[in-house]
Amino acid sequence: MGGMRRAGVIDDDSVGAHDHVCFVYAERAEWRAAARSFALAGLDAGQRVLIVAGPGEEHWWTEDDALGPAMRTGRAELLPQRAAYPDDLVDPADQVAFYRQATERAVRDGFGGLRAFADVTGLTSTPPAVDRLLRYEQLVDAYMDGHPFQGLCGYDRTAVPPADLRLLACLHPSASPGYAPFHVYADSGRLRLAGDIDYDNVELLAEALRAVGLPSAGPPLELTGTGLGFVHHAARVALAKLAQERSGRIVLRGGPSVAKRLSDMLGLDDAGLEVIV
């Protein structure tokens, strides 16, 4: 996968054009339609499709007029949800390894890569579970950057608290409308910020970066801000405070030019934040 990753808001017609999507739904029919669209785009692109089926929903896919035949020829595979996520993300890195191995197997079998979809609402049952899921989403997104693996993550908005949904959506490059005012995601080996960060979203930004895992020492955390449209000065203050929490530094490269002027005025370079335009 080369070039800048596609980021932003998805709609029903564009879900298949993105590589890591947070799809928020209220009705199972919405999820089924989005997952099918995402899968068909993968088949058209010569990828193997991995279907992670919820309980009692295997027939949706085995009886589908496109995905059923694809399963019979090996172009698609189906796994029950409990088989794909057997330990509820006790170790998020193990789950990334599962998808890495499946991707490598698809490539060995002659496919262009792997495209998978899964409704992961059930992995948000407790605050510790949400923390593990946030870490997983960040780790798997980093793997997708530069590897032929793409994923669609489903979240039922009637079952996941709104604050958790917003945070999860922000850790995907693409999300359903109304949930992610900005995105924090891997791109070309760096952590990229895209979207708008206004005053109301400053704490959300801090939470997202804490979920990513800020280093406590050593090299600074580098953020690429070329995808940002607007950044409220309170966000720059929050970034400086985060750096101080970890006794480290944060470098924001390529943000709006006003960010550099304001950080200079506020003296934030001395407080752990460096802005390079």
Q: What is the pLDDT of residues 66-97, one digit of tens each?
A: 999 999 999 999 999 999 998 889 999 999 99
Residue 118 gets the label, from left (phi > 0), alpha (psi -120 to 50) or beta, of: beta
Fold of the CATH domain 8-181: Rossmann fold (3.40.50)
| pLDDT greater than 50 at residue 265 | no
CATH architecture of residue range(s) 189-276: 2-Layer Sandwich (3.30)
**At 5, which amino acid appears?**
R
* pLDDT (mean) for 170-189: 94
- Residue 56 CA, chain-centre distance (Å), reads 27
| pLDDT greater than 70 at residue 64 | yes
- This prediction has a pTM of 0.89
Per-residue tokens: 59: 């027939």
DSSP state at residue 36: H
| pLDDT greater than 50 at residue 277 | no
Domain ranges of the chain: 8-181, 189-276
Among 70-74, 203-207, 222-226, the minimum mean pLDDT is found in: 222-226
